[in-house]
Amino acid sequence: MTKTTRRSVLTAAAAMTAAGIAEATPAAAQATPRPMFPVPMISIPIVGETQVFQVRRIYCIGRNYAAHAIERGSDPNREPPFFFQKPTDAIQNVAIGAVADHPYPSLTKNYHHEVELVAALKSGGSNIPAEKALDHVYGYALGLDMTRRDLQNGMAAEKKPWEIGKSFDHAAVIGPIHPASKTGHFEKGAISLAINGAVKQSSDLSKMIWSVAEQIAKLSEAFELKAGDIIYSGTPENVGPVVKGDVLLCKLEGLPDMSIKIV
């Protein structure tokens, strides 16, 4: 017969107690959660700063210039603003003075340009009054809302979501952000886009149906806006197709030019 000692009894009891505690303790308390794989931070350079602007969400407003609304078959006098989103990793940063290669995307045979003012938020909230909205803007950039128009139109005709026409790799082209403390807020100013030297889009920010402040107010009724959100504020009329080899030059009064080449 095996002799049982006081030490062996205590050792066994301690082991059973430890096992019981481990069984009762949640897995989360036993090990710190770790990411399965790294996910890159999406950011936009800020002019004159070593810090970068981290992107949380990309919002876009549709048909925000009367003439563009008309060319898209809408009534600008009574249509309320509507919004859609792009994935954050659709961002393509374009440095000042560079002509960035922009890949022609898959699936489309009718790829369109849309030049826009972009507002970048440093704070947010819900149901923000329009008169307080610009307090949440950190700065502004020049952007391109690139669009697979045939896919957008095809899905719209079938009354299906047309995300595939707007949300894809490199669909959110953008220049660096300029702090509003240096540029002021943009309520007017010439905006244009040229292809191979020929001007295609030309208008003024004053012709926007909904101002940046009003866009922020309306968006905040539907979403809680936060720091890191950016808003593409709509494009003027005469959007149109681009092909490989085209060089696009975007201009906005008060900001440096932005240029890409379709490859």
Give tens-digit pLDDT for 212-228: 999 999 999 999 999 99
What confidence score (pLDDT) does residue 247 get? 98
- CA dist 44 and 171 (Å) reads 15
179, 138 in Cβ contact below 8 A?
yes
What confidence score (pLDDT) does residue 81 get? 82
- CA dist 263 and 251 (Å) reads 21
What confidence score (pLDDT) does residue 72 get? 66
pTM of the entire predicted model: 0.86
What confidence score (pLDDT) does residue 12 get? 47
Q: Is 158 helix (H, G, I), strand (E, B) or coil?
A: coil
Distances (CA, A) of 250 to 45, 142, 171: 18, 8, 15
What confidence score (pLDDT) does residue 88 get? 98
- CA dist 96 and 36 (Å) reads 36
- CA dist 164 and 184 (Å) reads 35
| Structural domains of the chain in order of their starting residue, each with its CATH number | 43-262 (3.90.850.10)
Task: Render pLDDT for 105-161 as a digit per residue (tens, 0 to 9).
Answer: 999 999 999 999 999 999 999 999 999 999 999 999 999 999 999 999 999 999 999
Residue ranges for the chain with pLDDT beneath 50? 1-4, 9-19, 21-22
